[in-house]
Amino acid sequence: MRVLVTGGAGFIGSHIVRSLAEAGHEPVVLDALLPSAHATAPEPPAAEFLRGDVRDAASVRAALRGVDAVCHQAAMVGLGKDFADAPAYVGCNDLGTAVLLAGTAEAGVRRLVLAGSMVVYGEGRYACPRHALVRPGPRLPEDLSAGRFEPHCPACGAELAPGLVGEDAPADPRNVYATTKLAQEHLAASWARSTGGTAVSLRYHNVYGPGMPRDTPYAGVASLFRSALARGEAPRVFEDGGQRRDFVHVRDVAAANVLTLEAAGALPPGALTAYNTGSGDPHTVGEMATALARAHGGPLPVTTGEFRLGDVRHITADSSRLRRDLGWRPETGFAEGMAEFARAGQRASATPGG
């Protein structure tokens, strides 16, 4: 299969390009090499490469020549600096997706895999002993300042137990980036309905591993901790370190993309199917910091009680649908993956927030 990988020079995209080539496919990369994602000249992708923007119809048309499937990874990631960044996010992520999909429709390509995100779910899913499943709203600044990090039941105030979020959970995007990731899915669903194509959104959880961009707030906490360790400093863990996340290795995410691209022909046409893409083995941010610090040989993390408004407390996926439908099996476990990452290189990035 000849596969167009947009954003194929980025962190996840470059692993997908490598995995596609290893599986005997022919990847072609379209990437604008955004300065926010690439400070220094990136390594040339191990594939045919076109430098261009997904918002540019002519670049998209050229990149789609002879292509059988599209794997759409290009996006602006991160929380941005402030709301003034909203037009740039919406431009790259949503206008870009619309231009790409229009080109895909015109070129007769009917297979699309989208880099989705767990950010579409907001604060995840919780069980109250009296009210069963509840969805708490954003945490209040006064609670966070007082060290009350756990969300409480919106009906009775009881303590809640975090649960696993399934694909059918209602969307609740809480920032501009999350909103653009949700809109990408809606655009892809519309594309599928009007072309009869097959669209899949792989809703990645916290992806980490070699090549991860350095010091960008979104690209992750694992990367910030890794950078601190490299400077000989202790990783600074916010809140009380008890935030639960699903850290999934980038090679497993790349494998999920290859598998989905190959299987897309057997998935329902004319619709978008969403798959949570997580390891299924949630850990706290504190555990992750400790694992990295130990593998690096110290210093051990400190828990600071600081917080970021808008962060969610726990968000962990139920990724069993992807395992059941497509036979995906993540291969890099938490301990092994973190030990490797503690030693592996990160990628330089120009501006934090990119």
DSSP 273: E
Under the criterion CB under 6 A, does residue 151 sit at the interface with ligand NAD?
no
Q: Looking at 231-327, list the stretches that DSSP marks H as alpha helix, in order from N- to C-terminal side.
A: 250-263, 285-296, 320-326
CA distance 240 to 315: 16
| Residue of 277, 291, 301 whose CA lies nearest to 340 | 291
Residue 131 engages Zn ion in binding (rule: CB under 5 A): yes
Q: What is d(CA 298, CA 48) in angstroms, rounded to the nearest whole number?
A: 41
Number of residues engaging Zn ion in binding (CB under 5 A): 7
In the set 126, 177, 204, 208, the catalytic residue is 177
Burial label, 154 (beta-carbon count in 10 A; 0-12, 13-18, 19+): middle
Residue nearest to Zn ion (CB): 153
Q: From the CB of 69, what's the least distance to ligand NAD, in Å? A: 17
Tell me, yes or no, if 126 is annotated catalytic: no
* x-marked contacts with ligand NAD along 97-116 as a string, rule CB under 6 A: ------------------x-
Q: Which residue do the tokens 């400077």 mark?
A: 231
Nearer to ligand NAD, 128 or 279 (CB): 279
Using the rule CB under 6 A, which residue among 76, 101, 134, 169 binds ligand NAD? 76
**Number of neighbouring beta carbons within 10 Å of residue 146:** 9
Is residue 152 part of the contact set for Zn ion (CB under 5 A)? Answer: no
CB 238 within 8 A of CB 304: yes
Which of 72, 177, 75 lies closest to 114, judged by CA? 72
Q: Confirm or reject binding of residue 39 to ligand NAD (CB under 6 A).
A: no
Please pick, from the candidates 28, 32, 60, 293, the single residue that binds ligand NAD as defined by CB under 6 A: 32
What does 63 bind: Zn ion, ligand NAD, none (CB cut-off 5 to 8 Å by kind)? none
Q: Which residues contact 152 (CB under 8 A, 6 or more apart)?
A: 136, 158, 159, 160
Cβ-based nearer residue to ligand NAD, 10 or 210:
10
Look at residue 156 and give the partner it binds from Zn ion, ligand NAD, none, a contact being a CB closer than 5 to 8 Å depending on partner kind: Zn ion
| Residue among 206, 223, 316, 319 that touches ligand NAD (CB under 6 A) | 206
89 contributes a contact to ligand NAD by CB under 6 A: no
315 binds ligand NAD (CB under 6 A): no
Counting contacts by CB under 5 A, is residue 127 touching Zn ion?
A: no
Mask 213-252, x = binds Zn ion (CB under 5 A)?
----------------------------------------
CB atoms within 10 A of CB 307: 19
> In terms of Cα–Cα distance, which of 56, 2, 57 is closest to 29?
2
d(CA 73, CA 134): 32
Distance CA 322, CA 228 (A): 34
Residue closer to ligand NAD by CB (options 51, 324) is: 51
| E-strand stretches of 41-142 | 48-51, 69-72, 111-117, 126-128, 132-134
Query: What is the C-alpha to C-alpha distance for residues 222 and 228, in angstroms, rounded to an integer?
Result: 10
**Residue 219 near ligand NAD by CB under 6 A:** yes
Based on CB atoms, which residue is closest to ligand NAD, 144 or 275? 275
Under the binding rule (CB under 6 A), the answer on residue 96 touching ligand NAD is: yes
The minimum distance between CB 153 and ligand NAD, in angstroms, equals: 28
Binding-site size, ligand NAD (CB under 6 A): 32
Binding positions for ligand NAD, rule: CB under 6 A:
6-7, 9-13, 31-34, 37-38, 53-55, 73-77, 92, 96, 115, 117, 181, 204, 206-207, 213, 219-220
Q: Which residues are catalytic?
A: 177
